[in-house]
Amino acid sequence: MTPERPKVAVVTFLGSLDDHDALWALGALDAEAQLVWHAETELPQGTSAVVLPGGFSYGDYLRGGAIARFAPIMDAVIEFAKAGGLVLGICNGFQILCEAGLLPGVLIRNASLSFVCRDVLLSVERTDTSFTSRCEPGQKLRVPIKHGYGNFTGSEELLAELEQKRQVIFRYEGDNPNGSLNAIAGVINETGNVMGLMPHPEHAVDPLLGSPDGALILASLVDAARERRTALV
């Protein structure tokens, strides 16, 4: 029997760039991925997970993600997340989730002020999440980054709380490419159903593209989405 393909909604904002890559990668990893336009007010029926892709929604005007956070579809995404639904934000999607208050902290301009576009090594801090279950403890993943606003910051209290509650899921290994506090590359919310990361797993699902490591992250999400779908039936 073929395992069921869970429905994953990939939102296209005005200025999203990586929606099609995410769609392709999720499809290759046995999800039934579907693009959802930002002006929609509801997620497709039976959606088991939502991905907010990378890009430069609204030209990064004001702050990365600040305007996209008010797109009509975001009310449905926020409601879905608050009900425990799985939401993954990649790069600009991460910024949108922070602006929407679904994830802690904020992403500011890279310390170097330069746009960075290259592969980085990520250390996996936790494997007991819906987004990292296919990773090995302590595993290092090679995944590309490409951003100008990836510098994760917040108050000292917030940082201490994130560390204490183990909400940091990925850190840059070695060289910190953007000045993020505590080398944070990805964080999860307290309830473990919303995660954001700056690196692009959807660009690293095939050795032909330099690394297959991103597939571990997306396949973990597809597994978790499938489990939830089955639990609902």
Partner 1 sequence: MKATVLVRPKAGIKDPQGEAVRGSLAKSGFDIVSVRIGRVVDVEVETSDREKALAELERMSHDLLANPLIESYEIELLEEA
Binding mask 29-68 vs partner 1 (x if CB under 8 A, - otherwise)? ---------------------------------xx--xx-
**Residues from 99 through 118 that contact partner 1 (CB under 8 A):** 99, 105-106, 108-113
Task: Report how many helices (DSSP H) and strands (DSSP E) the chain contains, helices first.
Answer: 5, 11
Q: Does residue 38 have an active-site annotation?
A: no
CA pseudo-torsion sign 150, 155, 161, 164: positive
CB of 218 within 8 A of CB of 202? yes
Looking at the Cβ atoms of 37 and 61, the one nearer to partner 1 is 61
Asked if 205 contacts 212 with a C-beta cutoff of 8 angstroms, the reply is: yes
Is residue 20 part of the annotated active site? The answer reads no
Contacts of 17 (CB under 8 A, 6+ apart): 53, 54, 55, 56
Q: Does 198 sit near partner 1 (CB under 8 A)?
A: no
Output the smallest distance, CB 34 to partner 1, in A: 29
- Per the CB < 8 A criterion, the answer to whether 144 and 172 are in contact is no
In the bound complex, what is the minimum distance in angstroms from residue 49's beta carbon to partner 1?
Answer: 26
The nearer residue to partner 1, 65 or 186, going by C-beta atoms, is: 65
Closest CA to 38 of 59, 23, 53: 53
Q: Would you say 111 or 209 has its CB closer to partner 1?
A: 111
**Looking at 46, 79, 115, 155, which residue binds partner 1 (CB under 8 A)?**
155
Q: Which of 91, 99, 125, 203 is catalytic?
A: 91
d(CA 137, CA 27): 26
Least distance to partner 1 from the beta carbon of 160, Å? Answer: 14
With 0-12 / 13-18 / 19 or more C-beta atoms within 10 angstroms meaning exposed / middle / buried, residue 232 is exposed
Q: Does 147 bind partner 1 (CB under 8 A)?
A: no
- C-alpha to C-alpha distance for 211 and 91, rounded to whole angstroms: 18
| Helices 214-232 + 19-28 axis angle, to 10 | 70
200 is catalytic: yes
The footprint of partner 1 on residues 3-32 (CB under 8 A) is none
Number of residues that bind partner 1 (CB under 8 A): 21
Q: Which residues bind partner 1 (CB under 8 A)?
A: 62-63, 66-67, 70, 99, 105-106, 108-113, 151, 153-156, 158, 179
> Would you name the residues annotated as active-site residues?
91, 200, 202
